[in-house]
C-alpha cells in the first residue's frame, strides 16, 4: 500500500469511529429484562407504528412517527455498548464518558438500598441532583429511565433541564434533548 492509501484508510476509519453510536447501559446485569429494555429503546426510536410498552403495562402506548430517529436507528445495530454497573466496580456518577443514548436499567435507589458494598450498593453521590447533572453531562440525545418508585426512574428523576420528558408508564420514562 502507498502512504496515500494508508492516510485515506486512516481517515475513513476515523470517520467511522466518530460516527459509531455510543450507548451507556447503566445498572446493566445482563438479564433478560435488561435485554428487553435495550430492545424496547431501539424499537422506540426506530418504530413508525404504535406499540405497547411491555408486558407489564399493556395500556401504555407510544406515538408514531414523532419517535422515529433515522440517525440513531440506522447506527443502532453496530453501536458501541458500554455496560456500567456499580456492583462490578464502575460508578456512573463518578465517570465522565459521553453517550448518544443512556439507558438506566432498574438502578437501585437510596430509598430501599442504603449499602455501599455488594450487589445492592448505591453510589456515594446518589442524589437526584447528581443523577441529573451526570445525565446532562453525557450529552445524550435520548435517556431511557426504567424503574419504579424505589429505583432511578422517572419518578425519582422528575424533569431534567434541557430535556423533554415523556412518561410512558409508571416504570418507563423517555427524555429527549431539546433542540435550540
Instruction: Find the domain containing 110 and state its range.
Output: 20-177
Question: Is 40 inside any structural domain?
Answer: yes
For residue 141, the domain's CATH number is 3.40.50
Question: Is 15 inside any structural domain?
Answer: no
pLDDT at residue 14, as a whole number: 47
Q: Would you give per-residue pLDDT tens digits along the chain (180 residues)?
A: 566 665 555 444 444 444 788 999 898 777 666 777 888 788 777 765 554 444 444 444 444 334 567 677 778 788 898 998 887 888 899 999 999 999 998 887 765 545 444 445 677 777 889 999 999 999 999 999 988 877 888 888 999 999 998 887 778 889 999 886
Instruction: Provide the edge-to-edge strand list for the sheet that holds 101-105.
Output: 80-84, 22-26, 101-105, 142-146, 172-177, 163-169
Q: How many domains does the chain have?
A: 1
Question: Is 151 inside any structural domain?
Answer: yes
What pTM does this model have? Answer: 0.76
Q: Any alpha helices (H) in the chain, and if so which ranges? A: 3-19, 32-46, 70-75, 128-137, 154-157
Question: Is 10 inside any structural domain?
Answer: no
Distance from C-alpha of 39 to C-alpha of 55, rounded to nearest angstrom: 13
Question: Is 132 inside any structural domain?
Answer: yes
Question: Is 1 inside any structural domain?
Answer: no
> Residue 124, class by beta-carbon neighbours within 10 Å (0-12 exposed, 13-18 middle, 19+ buried)?
exposed
Question: Is 70 inside any structural domain?
Answer: yes
Amino acid at each position: 500500500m502507498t502512504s496515500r492509501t494508508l492516510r485515506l484508510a486512516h481517515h475513513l476509519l476515523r470517520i467511522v469511529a466518530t460516527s459509531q453510536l455510543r450507548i451507556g447501559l447503566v445498572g446493566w446485569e445482563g438479564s433478560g429484562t435488561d435485554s428487553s429494555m435495550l430492545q424496547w429503546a431501539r424499537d422506540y426510536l426506530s418504530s413508525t407504528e404504535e406499540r405497547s410498552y411491555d408486558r407489564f403495562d399493556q395500556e401504555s402506548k407510544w406515538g408514531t412517527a414523532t419517535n422515529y430517529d433515522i440517525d440513531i436507528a440506522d447506527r443502532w445495530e453496530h453501536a458501541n455498548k458500554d455496560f456500567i454497573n456499580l456492583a462490578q466496580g464502575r460508578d456512573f456518577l463518578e465517570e465522565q464518558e459521553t453517550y448518544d443514548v443512556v439507558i438506566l436499567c432498574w438502578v437501585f435507589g437510596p430509598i430501599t438500598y442504603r449499602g455501599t458494598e455488594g450487589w445492592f450498593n448505591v453510589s456515594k453521590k446518589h442524589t437526584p441532583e447528581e443523577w441529573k447533572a451526570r445525565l446532562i453531562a453525557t450529552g445524550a440525545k435520548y435517556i431511557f429511565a426504567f424503574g419504579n418508585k424505589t429505583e432511578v426512574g422517572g419518578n425519582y428523576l422528575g424533569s431534567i433541564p434541557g430535556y423533554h420528558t415523556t412518561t410512558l408508564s409508571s416504570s418507563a420514562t423517555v427524555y429527549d434533548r431539546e433542540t435550540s
